[in-house]
Structure 1
Amino acid sequence: MGWSLFNRKKTQSFDDRAARTASGGESLPVQDTRAAIEELSKVVQNDPEAVEIYLALGSLYRSQGEIERAIQIRNSLIVRPGLDREFKARAWFELGRDFRRAGFLDRAEKAFQEARSLGQDPVSIHREMARLTAERGDYEKAAESYGQLDLPLPQAHYLVRFAKDRFAEGNVSQGNRSLRHAIRAYPGAIEAWLEQLTQAFKAGSAAKVADILGQAMAQVAPELRFVLFEGLLTALNQAAKARESSFGEETEWSKSCSEEKLVKALLPVIETQEPDVLLLYYGGLLQLRIDDLDNARSWFEKALMLKSDFWLARLELFELSRADQTLTPFFKEQLSFFLDRARNVRRFFCRNCGLKRDQIFFNCPRCRSWHSISFRTDITE
């Protein structure tokens, strides 16, 4: 079986990355950005009329977080006498993106309107306005805008955000409709399937959770399926914490099914899948939740048979065997220290830009790529 879930991104040239940054794509690494800023600044000093360089320099400042300097560059272009209409439109457009990055959403909208009036590409304007709408928290309208742009993945994402708001208000039927709409728009919407799983768990139906999981496994990209299990474990932790602190009062997790029922319903679903290192790992974690230590150990060992250097599976096996070891108090203390540190290593990263996180994400906070999350099965990744 040829699983290749964690392919490394091919090395790209500096020019390619700089071009994407200037056009609004991924950010350059910090060291490359600073070097580019220095080089472009020198060129601009020698040729102040180089508008393209001005625009690129402003985008590099923005990617570096120097928003004020980026805005100064756009304004200097906008007020320049005799500037070509096309360049002025682009300057207004980039100014709008600068304002949005700075959190000045009203100013950003006005800048985009100016860019539109000067002939800036309407699709790019529409995309930026959709993002503005999302940042304002109007998720329903944002989803509609992305649907008009024929971008089903962000459309589905914001339908899920809208559904979560409805669930929080107690409007379960509207929330469920929005989730179904999200899956119709983009069947591989991992966030939509995860929210359905969470809601079924909250409702107390282990069988429904298992049924939804089976459907999700058939639709979600194989390299993203681990997100379902990570999300479920998070829900289990939240439910357990709510039970401990509720003092008998009703909470949103009060009707959730027991962990034992849930785990026994989920494991057969996992067993129907082709052997996969992460599915085996999460299956082992689920069995640890119900103190089925022998089976948990077996699943972690199977995970290592598929990938011998999977450090987290080795960590769990080591933890399971610790009680059988005779250790001095000093050694136990040092070992606990290093195990705790190992558990805090950020497990997730963006396949596109390499950003590391200890929590799941659907849209990379750095490069804004969708569904680029991956699991660090190799600690050196």
Structure 2
Amino acid sequence: MLELLWLLLPLAAASGYLAGRRRPPAPPPVSARDYLRGINHLLNDETDKAVELLIRMVEADSETVETHLALASLFRRRGELERAIRIHQNLIARPTLEPAQRTQALLELGRDYLRAGLYDRAEAIFQDLVGDGRVGAEALEQLMAIYEREREWPQAIAAARRLARQGRDQRARIAHYLCELGEEARAAGDLRGAEARAREALAAHRGCTRAALLVADVALARRDPRGALRALREIRREAAAEVAPAVVERLEAAFAMLGDEAGLMRELYALGREPGAEAALLRLAELRRDREGSEAAAALLREALAHRPGLEAAHALLALRADGDPTGEDGRAVAAALARMLAERARYRCRGCGFRARALHWQCPRCKAWGAMRAFTSEEGVDRVQRGVIQP
């Protein structure tokens, strides 16, 4: 913030000087003494005093619109929203403000209200701005942010479709909004409505993994395991690997209804060959251990480690060996330590901002991107161990 104040103080002083030259003879609106006082406040790390002085310097010249906007932006970043709102409201109230400047001030005021949680006020402003060619797209983006926070999915879909007509690809986003409606319908017991929204999402974005999982969930709720498997097989292998724990859970449910463990093992083997699908591989190792013995499971894990070294496969193999060797105290200790590390480790990571979570979020809690969370891969875990930065 100090860097911005260093820029704003001379800008305010220069603006006041130029404005004074354009007006009839009068005392200079900004004096050199004021400017030097501001510099002194900055040198002494007296930020608040420098800000107060800057406000007075800016108020001395009613034409310094850009300086007002920069100052209000500074206040918003500091969390001083009342000050930011007051500055933008004062700007908008000026009868001589140019149309482009008024539009920008309105957009910034809407952002102030949004940051303050005053969604109704923010929505009203952005609704007024969506028809403006200069800021219409940004206004629609802000409206979608409001509708997402308030879970008003029909309005979010309408805004996204309007933005799509301006040439911005919104297919994935619209699909997720439709899935949100589908999830609400499923929770209310409306399976037909849930499936309809999921199918609509797939029509909007053919590669929507979430929509296919929702179709599978509806089929499982109807005791239709074959329908669930058809939906799961529609998901591309690479995409399924990115949410492997969720896919494995549904595969197990479907094959359990069919009583076909061998079929489940075949599906897990096919999925487990994809990078990132450790959940499928580990579940398959457990099934092999139960059906064919520890050596069959160990052979599978050794094969996996030879192709893609990973912490989870290494732990599973070590645990198998330690359990079979009652004298292997060291092995059991290492296996237990790895188990604790893996239990605390995140299972998913946002490919956009890097946010980590143990549960799958279809919208990243940090950056708000849709469909950006993917399963944390073994290769990433190994790399972090080598660098000593394993984190939960």
- TM-score of the superposed pair, with normalisation by structure 2: 0.68
Q: Distance in 1 between matches of 2:307 and 2:330?
A: 35
Is 2:344 aligned against 1:323?
Answer: no
Is 2:277 aligned against 1:279?
Answer: yes
Q: 1:77 pairs with 81, 88, 97, which one?
A: 88
Residues 194, 373 of structure 1: alpha-carbon distance in 2 compared, 3 angstrom cutoff: same
Q: Distance in 2 between matches of 1:328 and 1:297?
A: 17
Alignment of 1:1-381 (within 5 A): 37-48=1-12, 66=78, 68-70=79-81, 72-80=83-91, 81=94, 83-113=97-127, 115=129, 121-150=135-164, 151-217=170-236, 222=238, 224-233=239-248, 258=256, 261=259, 264-271=262-269, 275-279=273-277, 281-286=279-284, 288=286, 291-292=290-291, 294=294, 296-308=297-309, 310-326=310-326, 336-374=336-374, 375-377=376-378, 378-379=380-381, 380=383
Residues 125, 201 of structure 1: alpha-carbon distance in 2 compared, 3 angstrom cutoff: same
Higher relative contact order (Cα pairs below 8 Å, separated by 6+ residues)? 1
Q: Distance in 1 between matches of 2:184 and 2:365?
A: 21
Q: CA deviation at 1:154?
A: 0.9
Q: CA deviation at 1:268?
A: 3.0
Match of residue 45 from structure 2: none
Q: Distance in 2 between matches of 1:60 and 1:156?
A: 36
Structure with larger Rg: 2
Q: CA deviation at 1:79?
A: 1.0
The residue type paired with residue 136 of structure 1 is: E
Number of paired residues?
320
Q: CA deviation at 1:53?
A: 7.2
Q: Distance in 1 between matches of 2:231 and 2:83?
A: 52
In structure 2, stretches of 5+ residues that fail to align are: 16-63, 165-169, 385-392
In structure 1, stretches of 5+ residues that fail to align are: 1-36, 240-255
Q: Distance in 2 between matches of 1:70 and 1:165?
A: 34
Residue 368 of structure 1 aligns to a residue whose secondary structure is: coil
- TM-score of the superposed pair, with normalisation by structure 1: 0.70
Residues 267, 61 of structure 1: alpha-carbon distance in 2 compared, 3 angstrom cutoff: farther
The residue type paired with residue 9 of structure 2 is: Q
Higher helix share: 2
Deviations 1:75-124 (A, max 9, x none): 31341355543233223223323433443221221232454588752232
Q: Distance in 2 between matches of 1:55 and 1:299?
A: 63
Residues 297, 89 of structure 1: alpha-carbon distance in 2 compared, 3 angstrom cutoff: farther
Deviations 1:193-240 (A, max 9, x none): 12222233333333333222211126xxx2x32244321456699x8x
Q: Distance in 2 between matches of 1:107 and 1:343?
A: 44
Q: CA deviation at 1:182?
A: 0.2
- RMSD over aligned CA atoms reads 3.6
Residues 142, 300 of structure 1: alpha-carbon distance in 2 compared, 3 angstrom cutoff: farther
Q: CA deviation at 1:349?
A: 1.8
Q: Distance in 1 between matches of 2:173 and 2:84?
A: 31
Residue 349 of structure 1 aligns to a residue whose secondary structure is: strand
Deviations 1:157-191 (A, max 9, x none): 01001011111122111111110010010011121
- Of all paired residues, the percent bearing the same amino acid is 20
